[in-house]
Structure 1
Amino acid sequence: MRTSVRALAAIAAAALLNLTPGIAHADPVTPAAGCRDISFPVAQGTLATTLCLPPGGTADTVMVLMSGSNYNGTYWDFSYQPEIYNFRKAMNAAGYATLVADRLGNGASSRPLSLSLTATGTSEALHGIVQALRAGYGGGAGFEKVVTAGHSLTSSTSVMEASTYHDVDGVLLTGYSHTLSIPDVLGVISSYYPAVADPVFAGRGVDSGYLTTRPGARQFAFYGDGDFDPAVLATDEATKETFSLSEYPDGLLATLPGQSAEINVPIMLAVGSKDRLSCGPNYAICADSATLYAAEAQYYAPAARFRAFVLPGSGHSVNLALNTRDYQTAVIDWMKTI
Structure 2
Amino acid sequence: MGAALLVVAATVGALNGSADADADAGRECRTVSFSVAGGTIAGSLCLPIGEAKAVMVLTSGSAANSVYWDFPYKPEVYSFARAMNTAGYATLALDRPGNGQSSTPPFWTVTASTDAAGVHTAVQALRHGLAGIDPFETVVLGGNALGSGVSVLEAATYHDVDAVLLTGYSHAIDPLVALDSVKTFRHAPDDPAFQGSEPGWLTMAFDTPEAARNYFGPHDDPAVIETSEQTKDRFSLTEWPDGLVATLPGATSHISVPVLLAAGSQDRLGCGAICRDAATLYAAEAPFYSPAAQLRTYVLEDGGDMINLSRGAPEYQEAVRDWMDSATN
TM-score normalized by structure 2?
Answer: 0.89
Find the aligned partners of 1:211 and 1:29 in 2 and give their Cα distance.
31
Correspondence 1:240 to 2:232: yes
Question: 1:163 matched to which residue of 2?
Answer: 156
Q: What corresponds to 1:259 in structure 2?
A: 251
Shift of 1:219: 2.1
4+ residue runs of structure 1 moved beyond 4 angstroms?
none
Q: In the aligned structure 2, how far is the partner of 1:92 from the partner of 1:104?
A: 25
Q: Structure 1 residues 69, 147: closer, same or farther in 2, change over 3 A?
A: same
Match runs of 1:244-323 below 5 Å: 244-279=236-271, 283-323=272-312
2:194 equivalent in structure 1: 201
What SS does the corresponding residue of 2:131 show, helix, strand or coil? helix
Q: In the alignment, which of 315, 324, 329 is matched to residue 326 of structure 1?
A: 315
**Percentage of matched positions with identical amino acids:** 51
Tell me the CA shift for residue 195 of structure 1.
1.1
Give the Cα separation in 2 of the matches to 1:71 and 1:160.
19
State the aligned residue count: 304
Report the alpha carbon displacement of residue 189 of structure 1 after superposing the two structures with TM.
1.5
Does residue 102 (structure 1) correspond to residue 95 (structure 2)? The answer is: yes
Question: TM-score if structure 1 supplies the norm length?
Answer: 0.87
Checking the alignment, whether the CA contact within 8 Å between 2:221 and 2:311 is kept in structure 1 is yes
Q: Residue type of the partner of 1:138? A: A
User: Aligned match of 1:131 in 108, 113, 124?
Assistant: 124
Which of 179, 188, 197 matches 1:186? 179
Query: How big is each residue's C-alpha offset from its partner over 1:141-193, in whole Å with a ceiling of 9 and x where there is no partner?
Result: 10010000011011111111111111100000000001101100111113212
List alignment gaps of at least 5 residues for structure 2. 1-9, 15-23
Contact 1:31 1:50 in 2 (8 A): no
Contact 1:47 1:110 in 2 (8 A): yes
Q: Which has the higher contact order (CA 8 A, sep 6+)?
A: 1
Query: Structure 2 matches for 1:32-71, cutoff 5 A?
Result: 32=14, 34-56=28-50, 58-71=51-64
Q: CA deviation at 1:118?
A: 0.4
Residue segments in structure 1 that go unaligned for 5+ positions in a row:
1-27
Equivalent residue for 2:138? 145
1:206-254 CA-to-partner distances (Å, cap 9, x unmatched) read 11211111362332331122x2111111111100111011000111011
Question: For residues 24-72 of structure 1, what are the alpha-carbon distances to aligned partners after superposition, in whole Å with 9 as ceiling and x for unaligned?
Answer: xxxx99541621111111111111111111122x213100111221100
Structure 1 residues 215 and 74: alpha-carbon distance in aligned structure 2, compared to 1, 3 A threshold? closer
CA RMSD in angstroms comes to 1.5
SS in 2 for 1:310: strand
Q: Does 1:337 align with 2:326?
A: yes
Structure 2 counterpart of 1:268, one-letter code: L
